[in-house]
Amino acid sequence: MISLIITLVIYIIVFGLLYWLIDYLLGVFPLPDPIGRIIRAAVVILMVVALIGVLLEATGTSTGLPRLRWQ
């Protein structure tokens, strides 16, 4: 249980930093309006799918998605 919480915290921190970096870069180097929104939406969708995969693996349900192992 504690390893699941640690894993989720690590994933949330890494995904938060990645989203912040992409959002910052899109602010510094602006792209045309629809492309910037599409990139932001795609990043959020990928992060949510990865977090759902981690939670499903914690319940014992295999998703078939690769997951980083810290051991």
Does 63 fall in a domain?
no
Does 67 fall in a domain?
no
Q: How many domains does the chain have?
A: 1
Going by C-alpha positions, the residue among 8, 23, 16 that lies closest to residue 54 is 8
Residue-range definition of the domain harbouring residue 30: 2-58
Does 51 fall in a domain?
yes
Does 19 fall in a domain?
yes
pTM of the model as a whole: 0.68
For 31, residues 6+ apart whose C-beta sits below 8 A from its C-beta are 39
Does 28 fall in a domain?
yes
pLDDT per residue rounded down to tens, the chain (71 residues): 787 788 788 888 988 898 899 889 988 988 888 998 998 899 889 888 887 877 777 777 766 656 666 55
Q: What is the C-alpha to C-alpha distance for residues 38 and 33, in angstroms, rounded to an integer? A: 9
